[in-house]
Chain A
Amino acid sequence: MLKYLLEKEFKQFFRNKALPKMAVIMPFMAILIFPLVANFEIKNISLAVVDNDKSSTSRELIQKVAAGGYFSISEVASTYTHALRSVELDKSDIIMEIPAHLERDLQREGSSEILISANAVSATKGGLGSAYLAGIIGDFNKEINGNISTVVADSFTITPRFWYNPRLLYTYFMVPALMVMVLAMVCGFLPALNIVGEKESGTIEQINVTPVTRLSFILSKLLPYWIIGFVVLTISFFAAWIAYGLTPAGNLGTIYLFAALFVLAFSGFGLVISNYATTLQQAMFMMFFFVLTFIFMSGLYTPVANMPRWAQNLSIISPLKYIIIVLRQVYLKGSTFTELLTPFWMLTAFAIFFNGWAVLSYRKKS
């Protein structure tokens, strides 16, 4: 019986115009595109320059800033007011104003002041951008000091050593987490929406009057997406390897084991939604609400430790948090199962909780 139901599900899946294509495109999008766009490194900051000095020193400074790769000179303004206008028009993010007589003051008095004003609408861009700029000016300061006076040796040198992600690549941090997102979409969203779709079109009635048991009906909905989910996950592994040379430092088997547990928990969550929703619109909206909550609580973009205390406590409700921890740990640190016991028990608890709720809420309804 289950075999025929599965045959039907696969037939419908592959006959669907969008779904099979989406299933292939989504992991590539998630792995190849998302890490590049969802990136907290600040680049291509548009800089408006007001050079009131027009000396060789000021030109050198501007060249150095432009050559660094972080800044592109968007405007060379004659006055600060003009530069501010270009910020208002959103053409520039930061203004650097070089005072008149910069060169003269440096030579005569050994110091001068440069004004940096930043558009702080995007706090990260404004903050990091002005810090970068200050850094570059600082370097420049050392160079000209070196030219003028003798080098003062630093008493200490600090050499940080970055473990697990030595080049501090943001993509290495994001890619394992994005794999989870893809898995959550395929295994949580799709079966739930499929069931609600059958509710909406009335076909579930026709199935309900046959001797098909509820369990085989639900399994016929979940199994295809579990299989598709794991195919998609495997595609993601390959995509990460080809695009970034990223391979798990730990055991791939550990990842599959935890992924299976997560999929069980998250499809249970989908079933709960499908029990309460009667239309696709409702189901979509409920899904979005909870999934967005789970994502923001999960530490996908921002570390959980950055959150206020109450939010950190609340973050335990997100199953995504634990599977993201697992994938990052295994991928980057090479953690083994025994080091991942907390996520293991939490995911087990989620699986029992959601599936139990799904069974109970289903009984209550009919």
Chain B
Amino acid sequence: MGELNFKAVNVKSLAKNFGKVKQGGGGSGGGVAALGGLSFEVDRGEIFGVIGPDGAGKTTLFRILTTLLLPDSGEARVMGFDTVKDYREIRKIAGYMPGRFSLYQDLTVEENLKIFATLFNTTIEENYHLIRDIYEHLEPFKKRRAGALSGGMKQKLALSCALIHKPEVLFLDEPTTGIDPVSRKELWEMLRRLKKQGITIIVSTPYMDEASLCDRIALMQDGKFLRCDTPSAIIASFGKNLFSVKGDKMGAMLEGLRRVEGVSSCFAFGNSHHITAEKDNGTKSSLTVTSLKAHLESAGFTDVEVTEAEPTVEDCFMELLSK
């Protein structure tokens, strides 16, 4: 533990490789690097988002932090405890909700909650205040078997079980994957309330739009953090002009845009295309809304609509990936 002002999570050059490369996979050292030397810190009481596509290494990171997996090298501390040496201590103070529903499907809602309360040497009553908001939704179904619940309800039960021992750090691995938008919204509201109770929350998600709900985020790809900062700082550092383009023949237009001079990157973004262009050292870049539109129309595209767009975390992520 050492110093008193330890961080909630402290990770130093953490690395993990999985097995051998099957075929065709490049990789260094013949293994698949799930984590390639990560270093970061999470302050106590913040919501820290790990954002990245499937296969970025999010779950591996979570499994190491929750003592389920041993790292190959580097070290990780949770509330000052080493994940390898002091794993017993971490198991007392951490709550973990895996990405896949992992409660007993053949036990009822109430029995599941009771089991996990007992295994942590506590009772449902003792920490009921923590889960009240979540568990209220489940109360009418408490005699129902967990396997018979809907997706959103399952997530709520899993969250209740992860919270029942009043953890100091809560790890949520993709809690919003596969549930409806209303439940997603509710879940984030719950996380905000838990933060107020002083619980540090580390959450992973593949959804970029959830990034702004976190205090700080890490953009993760291929076992590495591309950036790690507050969402607003990441957006502020975008440093390029961004245009949103719509028109007919969107597919062909993507190719057409890539040929336009001055376009540094171009990717599909919802029902439009986002185009980034260099800022030309403070002076206005050669590309403007009007010049871009002229380029496209001369290339034969019709109904072209070009607007300037505010960058989002997704734009930043795509930009970082293209480097």
Contacts and interface: CB of A to CB of B under 8 A. Distances in A.
Interface of A: 1, 4-5, 8, 11-12, 15-16, 201-203, 205-212, 366
5 contacts: A1-B119, A4-B115, A4-B119, A202-B98, A209-B95
A205 B102 CA distance: 8
Given A202-B98, A205-B98, A12 B92 contact: no
Contact of A209 (B66, B100, B103, B118): B66
A210 B116 contact: yes
A15 B68 contact: no
A15 B111 CA distance: 13
Grouping DSSP codes into helix (H, G, I), strand (E, B) and loop, the B interface class, with mixed when no group exceeds half, is: loop
A4 B106 CA distance: 16
A203 B104 contact: yes
A200 to B, nearest CB: 11
Contacts of A4: 115, 118-119
Contacts of B95: 209
A207 B119 contact: yes
Contact of A8 (B67, B115, B120): B115
A211 B88 contact: yes
A16 B88 contact: no
A202 B161 contact: no
A8 B111 CA distance: 9
Contact of B107 (A8, A208, A212): A8
A16 B106 contact: yes
B67 A209 contact: yes
B107 A11 contact: yes
Contact of B103 (A11, A206, A210): A206
B105 interface: yes
A202 B100 contact: yes
- For the complex of A and B, 3 pairs with smallest distance between CB atoms: A202-B102, A210-B119, A4-B118
A206 B107 contact: no
A11 B106 CA distance: 9
A320 to B, nearest CB: 32
Contacts of B69: 366
Contacts of B119: 1, 4-5, 207, 210-212
Grouping DSSP codes into helix (H, G, I), strand (E, B) and loop, the A interface class, with mixed when no group exceeds half, is: helix
Contact of A211 (B91, B102, B104): B91
A87 B246 CA distance: 83
Q: How large is the interface on B (under 10, 10 to 19, 20 to 34, 35 or more residues)?
A: 20 to 34
Contacts of B91: 209-211
B317 interface: no
A8 B113 CA distance: 12
Nearest to A204: B102
Interface in B106-140: 106-107, 111, 115-116, 118-121
B68 A209 contact: yes
A202 B95 CA distance: 16
B106 A209 contact: no
A203 B118 contact: no
Given A202-B98, A207-B119, A211-B91, A12 B68 contact: no
A206 B100 contact: no
B107 A12 contact: yes
Nearest to A15: B106
A208 B68 CA distance: 7
Contact of B121 (A5, A15, A205, A211): A211
A206 B98 contact: yes
Nearest to A202: B102
A205 B158 CA distance: 13
Contacts of B92: 211
Contact of B96 (A8, A16, A209): A209
Interface in B262-293: none
Given A8-B104, A201-B105, A206-B161, 11 more contacts: A8-B111, A201-B102, A202-B100, A202-B101, A205-B98, A206-B96, A209-B91, A211-B88, A211-B91, A366-B69, A366-B70
Contacts of A210: 91, 116, 119-120
Contacts of A209: 66-68, 91, 94-96
B195 to A, nearest CB: 21
A266 B103 CA distance: 29
Nearest to A217: B119
Nearest to B104: A203
Contacts of A5: 119
A12 B88 CA distance: 27
Contacts of B120: 210-211
Nearest to A207: B119
Contacts of A205: 68, 96, 98, 102
Contacts of B100: 202
A11 B115 CA distance: 12
From B98, B100, B106, name the one whose CB has the most chain A CB atoms within 10 angstroms: B106
Contact of A203 (B68, B102, B111): B102
B156 to A, nearest CB: 15
A210 B105 CA distance: 18
B21 to A, nearest CB: 20
A12 to B, nearest CB: 6
Contacts of A202: 98, 100-102
Interface in B41-92: 66-70, 88, 91-92
Given A209-B67, A209-B94, A210-B119, A12 B106 contact: yes
Contacts of A8: 104, 107, 111, 115
A208 B120 CA distance: 12
A208 B111 CA distance: 18
Contacts of B98: 202, 205-206
Contacts of A212: 119
Contacts of A203: 102-104
A212 B117 CA distance: 12
From B67, B98, B101, B115, name the one whose CB has the most chain A CB atoms within 10 angstroms: B115
Nearest to A17: B106
A202 B105 CA distance: 11
Contacts of B106: 12, 15-16
B179 to A, nearest CB: 17
A345 to B, nearest CB: 38
Contact of A11 (B66, B105, B111): B111
Contacts of A11: 107, 111
A212 B67 CA distance: 13
